[in-house]
A = this chain, B = another copy of it.
Amino acid sequence: MLDVCLLGTGGMMPIPGRWLTSCMMRLNGSSLLIDCGEGTQVAIREKGWSFHPIDVICITHFHGDHISGLTGLLLSMGNADRTEPVTIIGPRGLEKVVNALRIIAPELPFGLIFKEIEGPEADFVVNDYHIHAFLVAHRITCYGYTITVERAGKFDAEKAKANEVPLLCWNRLQKGNVVEWEGKTFTPDMVLGAARRGLKVTYSTDTRPCASISRNAKDSDLFICEGMYGEDDKLNKAIEHKHMTFSEAATLAKEAQVKELWLTHFSPALTRPKDFLPVAREIFPQTKTGKSGMTVTLKFVDEEE
């Protein structure tokens, strides 16, 4: 199962009671963070989650409200005695940007592995996270992210027998390992049924609606999408600043046939996002307005409690 927490819901600047938009996931002892604006480390502490296991940080783009908290977080991870390297994924120029910011954090007790996204879409695998970045439509280069957790097929003893797999190898093969035994090579597919439905979360902020979002969000268990403006009559403003209205985000969710939509990245002027929830629900009923610390534990289709 995959824990997903929306750490904050603000756009532009952090304000009291509303941390900047950022998302954290936990899976099999490894955590993933998307975006890290000013105060994100405090939001993580408020949530009660640990910095230490953050193995990968995905940055959507280099506007301050999405990256200004990175240095502070890295320093705090160092203070929490992390020594394993941290992978940072982001647009071209990532290494230059992060190294410039690190002028106030030149020494960290762990390494940074930079993965710069080249082209409109790219894939990365870190631990059990399959990370797909896709270009969206903002004022500067900005990516959305789809995080997928794959799930192998069920163990199939009949298939194992049919493939003449020795009993001793079954367990290791079931766990996904390739096994060499008495000069023969056995692979997991020899004991497993067809791959089962995994989990899929899509995160997209700071963009106009575009085809890459609905295509990549397709069938997501959770779609976290910006809704900078609640009011439909702020569409011109949304177009001017390359953001979205609630209605536009809900339309994307409907097109992508996601299971649930969480709206986030609210304008500081949007003091009561919930007031505009009916506008979005009219288009896509499974919509929620995000709030700091909002969390869901996504389970595989037939996963036991």
Contacts and interface: CB of A to CB of B under 8 A. Distances in A.
Contacts of A16: 42, 45-46
A70 to B, nearest CB: 9
Contacts of A104: 62-64, 67-68, 97, 101
B41 A13 contact: yes
A79 interface: yes
Number of copies: 2
Nearest to A102: B100
Contacts of A63: 104
Interface in A12-39: 12-16, 37-39
Majority DSSP secondary structure for residues of A touching B: helix
Q: Which of A37, A42, A75 counts the most chain B CB atoms within 10 A?
A: A42
8 contacts: A13-B72, A13-B75, A13-B76, A14-B72, A38-B68, A38-B69, A63-B104, A100-B100
A176 B46 CA distance: 52
Q: Which of A15, A62, A68, A105 counts the most chain B CB atoms within 10 A?
A: A68
Contacts of A103: 62, 96-97, 100-101
A104 B100 CA distance: 9
A72 B67 CA distance: 10
Nearest to A72: B38
A89 B63 CA distance: 25
Interface string A257-299: 0000000000000000000000000000000000000000000
Interface in A38-92: 38-39, 41-42, 45-46, 62-65, 67-69, 71-72, 75-76, 79
